[in-house]
Amino acid sequence: MEASVPGAQKVEEITVSTERELLAALGSNRRILLNEGVYNLTAAEPGFWGNADVYFEEYYDGPELTLCNVQNLTIESAGDTRSEIVCEPRYAYVMSFLDCTNIRIINIKIGHTEGGECSGGVLSFENSTGISIDNTDMYGCGTTGLYLYQSTDVNVAGSSIYGCTHLIMNIYGSSNIRFTNCVFRDNAGGSVLKSVSNFTIDACSFLRNTDESRLFYLSETENVVVQNSEFVDNVAEKLIYNDKDEFEDSNRFENNTFDEEE
């Protein structure tokens, strides 16, 4: 089935039910609907030939799915229940996007079957733009929930990052990023922003996260705003490493180990 998108190329709509069908459907100008179930990418990797745009790269303990130069791709659950995408290697990202444009992930649950400690994570975007993540759960056991490198125009809404073993998010050299109505909970690490501009967290919740030093590490950032959000039961020595002007009075703090007034 093909659907018309105003001002854009025709988008092919594909409904899938298995890992192999999902891998075969990945590509540009496609809307992929996942029937309810768990899609283990690692189980489908043996025998998958791939192509120039979609392939597996070998990392420390197994393959990482990489999408390169893909445009106008939507991945979403076919029904109200979130379909789940997982991978087994602890040190690989579940899905890695490189040089991609206009990627939408909607109503998906995505994570690892087992946790790692040093590298890898849930979703990675490098040199990509026009990223939208809606109503999606990104969970550990991956080390980092969301990694952005030299990427722009990223919107995350109504989503959650939880159970990660190293960082909630790691963002470098990126701009125009917004999180709205998201929940960050039960992560063993904070967030790192380096060389980041026009970054906003609005109406989000930070619950029961822990870090040995700080929940936020900011370096060479510009126009970072955290507003209308709550911080409850977090454990860290400090809220932020850097000037705290980014945190507006509209935020609520309760039962954290750091002193937000310092």
25, 12 contact by CB (below 8 A) = no
- Cα–Cα distance between 201 and 181 in angstroms, integer? 9
For residue 259, give both structure tokens: 């002193």
Q: CB neighbours (10 Å) of residue 181?
A: 15
Partnered with residue 84 across adjacent β-strands are: 38, 109
Chain length of the chain? 262
Check residue 260 and give its pLDDT: 66
Partnered with residue 202 across adjacent β-strands are: 180, 227
Q: Is 20 exposed, middle or buried (0-12, 13-18, 19+ CB in 10 A)?
A: middle
What are residue 21's phi and psi, to 5 degrees?
Answer: -65, -40
The residues, any chain, with a CB within 8 Å of residue 259's CB and separated by 6 or more, are none
Check residue 261 and give its pLDDT: 55
Asked if the model's pLDDT at residue 2 lies above 50, the reply is no
Q: What is the pLDDT of residues 180-219, one digit of tens each?
A: 999 999 999 999 999 999 999 999 999 999 998 999 999 9
**Is 140 or 238 the better-scoring residue by pLDDT?**
238
Look up residue 133 and give its amino acid.
I
Q: What percent of the chain has pLDDT over 70?
A: 90
Look up residue 188 and give its amino acid.
A
Asked if the model's pLDDT at residue 224 lies above 70, the reply is yes
Nearest Cα neighbor of 225 from 243, 202, 195, 253 is 202
For residue 132, give both structure tokens: 């939208």
Check residue 173 and give its pLDDT: 97
Q: What is the pLDDT of residues 28-73, one digit of tens each?
A: 999 999 999 999 999 887 777 777 899 988 876 678 899 999 999 9
Q: 3-state class of 235 per DSSP?
A: strand
* 77-83-87-92 Cα dihedral, nearest 10 degrees: 50
List the chain domain ranges. 2-254
Domain topology for 2-254:
Pectate Lyase C-like (2.160.20)
Mean pLDDT of 80-85: 95
* 239-241-246-249 Cα dihedral, nearest 10 degrees: 30
73, 118 contact by CB (below 8 A) = no
